[in-house]
Structure 1
Amino acid sequence: MHLTLRGVFLAQALFLALSFHGTHAYITKDEQEMLDWISQEGGEFKVTISRTSAGVRGVFTTQDVRKGELLIYIPDHLVFSVRNVPAAEGAPLLLKELFTPCSRLTPYLRVLPRETQVLTGYNFPEEYIKFLADDNLELQVRGSFKKHCRSTFEGQNDENMMTTIPEAIGSVNISLPYFEYVVSMLSSRTFSLRRDALSMVPLLDLMNHDIRDINQLDSSRAYRGVRVVAGKDLAKGEEVTITYGNMRSDELLLYYGFLDTITDPPRLLAVDHRNYNPQDGAELPDVPLTGPEEEVRAEILRLKDILSQFESRLQALGPIPNTNPYVADLLQGLHEQRRRAVRHELARLQGLLAAHGGDL
């Protein structure tokens, strides 16, 4: 799954050229060795690993593929799974694999992003939290993601866990930032393939998100593994994507470290949606408000107030620091999307009133 930041493997010593048109097309030695390992262990695939024109790592076809054909098959014994518990409570099992010299998953572990290449609410940089510029978003990061991560690191949730940190890695000392990184990897790279389990699947977790995606993920027991089947005809060199779900940009940022740059105009952030409730986490409907008139007018006032408070807050905060350019760019993008989404919805609602002479 996509959490590889721009140009993240440019320091690798060996690049193997691919026959793609993008100027950032390459595969590293470790990535090729992982593909070889998957093949030797009974996996099948018509894809390889490369980069998009923006330098983002992803999965691309190596031949023309017809709709309904198998794209990827990963045997069950190459899948890493933990119980479906909060990521911080499952992370010690991933820690154990990372600290085991002869882990069965070593070829896979070598291609996982490094500590500076992962971003979620769990390891969101402290200096940037206030630049989320929203009380609900800041509360999610500080009061949910980071709070649970810290309490687990300090041993306060040991009674809820199958394996504690000391049980997983013995006397090895790790820092809280490193634990946040491991939790972020587990949180952002897992699939819900089976009941009560979260699974990290080699190669599949390198597929980037596209909300429009129609490729099919199948983990039926009959296959003894995980399959991706083409949902449409794909040309050689075309990127293979999956959808991470119907998530808005603020949700994608905190769970996966990127924004929805496909939907245009952008959708309202989850925290700006009229049905947003931080307590239930339910999916927010995309059905637009169309009436009655008093509800439309109330929604216009609500959105105007959101936009006014947002702009005032940004003005008080001042410029976003460039300590981490990737995070700074993401926040700039989030701010611009928020403006555009609110203004677009305001224009739509005001158009409704005008079209009906103020009488819906």
Structure 2
Amino acid sequence: MRATLLGFLFAQALFLIAFTPRSNAYITAEEQIMLDWIKREGGEFKVTISRNAAGVRGIFTTQNVRKGELLILIPDHLVFSVPSVPAAEGAPLLLKELHTPCSRLGPYLRILPNESQVLTGYNFPEEYIRYLADDRLEAQVLRYFKQHSRSTFEGQNDDKMMMTIPEAIGRANISLPYYEYVVAMLSSRTFTLRKEALSMVPLLDLMNHDIRDINQLDSSLGSRGVRLSAGKDMLKGEEVTITYGDMRSDELLLYYGFLDTVTSPPRLLAVDHRNFKPNEFGDLVDQPLTGPEEDIRAEIARLQHILAKFENRLETLGPIPNTLPYLAGLLRELHDQRREAIHYELSRLQRLLEQHDGQAEL
């Protein structure tokens, strides 16, 4: 036993010093075991798992890759799929795999993030919900994410489900927070590869989001699995990303647990967009309002009202508690982005009004 432990620690030390060109770069023993498993099962890849300079886990190239070359191939039999239903209703299928000691997906399941490393609207900490500082965002969390998880956990949706929680784990007892974690993990790590199915794909689901990404994902018939091809020439050690969709910071926070830090200036939050519909997130087109004049004035008044209400709410709430520093930091950044986006749009609209006034004088 002692020799085995020493061997494991030595192997892990080797993994931790791998890929030194990037700050905070390392791969754990379990992550390397998963890569070896994928390769044994017929997978192909020119990447590895590591961390970027901020310490965030991701996927990085192990060699120079030309545009169009295969980066990753994951065989179909390593993909875990559930019906395309609300995540809370599909989660028992993942729960069963997590509670099956000899699951065929064992090497993959063992590298999934733990409860403290997953954040979505489903498991958003109760203490922080009010610091979203918007009635519509709070309602989205409480009435959509949280309520559906709770009702499913309590068995109220059993008649809609392919597998219930008791069918998945028998008489084993789990808590609601743990079930929310499983639901959050399923909802934040799935791809839509086939009609009416959501799929978790080993290795591919470790790729981080970049809205500018142009890498090509393909799971069509004859592709031998799920393939990712390079959308551009890439250098060894470069991070491989995908896009999770054209989402705004409030959407990204509730569905994936992070913000859009690339777009500058930041876009209006979905809840602040003039076409937002209550209790709905979706594709909102960034088509700038340009007229007529009365519409511009009405939009200015609407955004000023939103901003004033937001600032008053923050003043009433007081400082964000630092119980969970990562989440507290995200919320502060979300607040800053919201202010900046509204001020930027107000300035743009005010310039339009000045142009209208100048043309009227002529």
Q: TM-score range by the shorter chain?
A: over 0.9
Within a 5 Å distance, the mapping from 1:12-51 to structure 2 comes to 14=13, 15-51=15-51
1:356 Cα shift?
A: 2.9
1:250 Cα shift?
A: 0.1
Q: Does 1:215 align with 2:222?
A: no
Within a 5 Å distance, the mapping from 1:116-155 to structure 2 comes to 116-155=116-155
Per-residue CA deviation, residues 137-162 of structure 1 (Å, 9 max, x unaligned), is: 00000000000000000000000000
2:122 aligned counterpart, secondary structure: coil
2:306 aligned counterpart, secondary structure: helix
Within a 5 Å distance, the mapping from 1:92-171 to structure 2 comes to 92-171=92-171
The structure-2 alpha-carbon separation of the partners of 1:282 and 1:251, relative to structure 1 and needing over 3 Å to count, comes to closer
Give the whole-Å Cα distance in 2 for the aligned partners of 1:152 and 1:111: 26
1:357 Cα shift?
A: 2.1
* Letter aligned with residue 209 of structure 1: H
1:221 Cα shift?
A: 1.7
Give 4+ residue runs of structure 1 displaced > 3 Å after superposition: 12-15, 279-282
Per-residue CA deviation, residues 208-258 of structure 1 (Å, 9 max, x unaligned), is: 000000000000121231000000000000000000000000000000000
- Name the structure 2 match of 1:179: 179
1:113 Cα shift?
A: 0.1
1:280 Cα shift?
A: 4.8
Give the whole-Å Cα distance in 1 for the aligned partners of 2:153 and 2:57: 30
Per-residue CA deviation, residues 27-85 of structure 1 (Å, 9 max, x unaligned), is: 00000000000000000000000011000000000000000000000000000000000
Contact 1:293 1:359 in 2 (8 A): no
The structure-2 alpha-carbon separation of the partners of 1:315 and 1:279, relative to structure 1 and needing over 3 Å to count, comes to closer
1:281 Cα shift?
A: 3.6
Give the whole-Å Cα distance in 2 for the aligned partners of 1:211 and 1:202: 21
2:357 aligned counterpart, secondary structure: coil
Per-residue CA deviation, residues 70-117 of structure 1 (Å, 9 max, x unaligned), is: 000000000000000000000000000000000000000010000110
Give the whole-Å Cα distance in 2 for the aligned partners of 1:197 and 1:330: 31
- Name the structure 2 match of 1:198: 198
Comparing 276-285 with 27-36, greater Cα deviation is found at: 276-285
- Name the structure 2 match of 1:316: 316
1:20 Cα shift?
A: 4.1
Q: Does 1:287 align with 2:287?
A: yes
Give the whole-Å Cα distance in 2 for the aligned partners of 1:304 and 1:225: 51
Give the whole-Å Cα distance in 1 for the aligned partners of 2:279 and 2:84: 20
- Name the structure 2 match of 1:326: 326
Contact 2:139 2:279 in 1 (8 A): no
Give the whole-Å Cα distance in 2 for the aligned partners of 1:197 and 1:224: 18
RMSD of aligned Cα (Å): 1.3
Give the whole-Å Cα distance in 2 for the aligned partners of 1:20 and 1:61: 13
- Name the structure 2 match of 1:65: 65
Give the whole-Å Cα distance in 1 for the aligned partners of 2:276 and 2:359: 27
Give the whole-Å Cα distance in 2 for the aligned partners of 1:255 and 1:358: 45
Q: 5+ residue gaps in structure 2? A: 1-10
Give the whole-Å Cα distance in 1 for the aligned partners of 2:265 and 2:244: 20
Contact 1:353 1:359 in 2 (8 A): no
2:208 aligned counterpart, secondary structure: coil
Within a 5 Å distance, the mapping from 1:208-247 to structure 2 comes to 208-247=208-247
Contact 1:193 1:199 in 2 (8 A): yes
Q: Does 1:276 align with 2:254?
A: no
Give the whole-Å Cα distance in 2 for the aligned partners of 1:246 and 1:314: 28
Contact 1:293 1:358 in 2 (8 A): no
Give the whole-Å Cα distance in 1 for the aligned partners of 2:205 and 2:96: 20
1:22 Cα shift?
A: 2.1
1:16 Cα shift?
A: 2.4
1:23 Cα shift?
A: 1.7
2:73 aligned counterpart, secondary structure: strand
Contact 2:293 2:356 in 1 (8 A): no
* Letter aligned with residue 152 of structure 2: T
1:353 Cα shift?
A: 1.2
Per-residue CA deviation, residues 152-199 of structure 1 (Å, 9 max, x unaligned), is: 000000000000000000000000000000000000000000000000
Give the whole-Å Cα distance in 2 for the aligned partners of 1:154 and 1:130: 25
1:96 aligned counterpart, secondary structure: helix
1:282 Cα shift?
A: 3.6
Richer in helix (by share): 2
> What percent identity do the matched residue pairs reach?
73
Contact 1:20 1:237 in 2 (8 A): no
Comparing 218-227 with 172-181, greater Cα deviation is found at: 218-227
Give the whole-Å Cα distance in 2 for the aligned partners of 1:296 and 1:216: 40
Contact 1:24 1:52 in 2 (8 A): yes
Give the whole-Å Cα distance in 2 for the aligned partners of 1:144 and 1:97: 26
The structure-2 alpha-carbon separation of the partners of 1:280 and 1:138, relative to structure 1 and needing over 3 Å to count, comes to closer
* Letter aligned with residue 162 of structure 1: M
Give the whole-Å Cα distance in 2 for the aligned partners of 1:88 and 1:214: 31
Give the number of equivalent residue pairs. 349
1:17 Cα shift?
A: 1.8
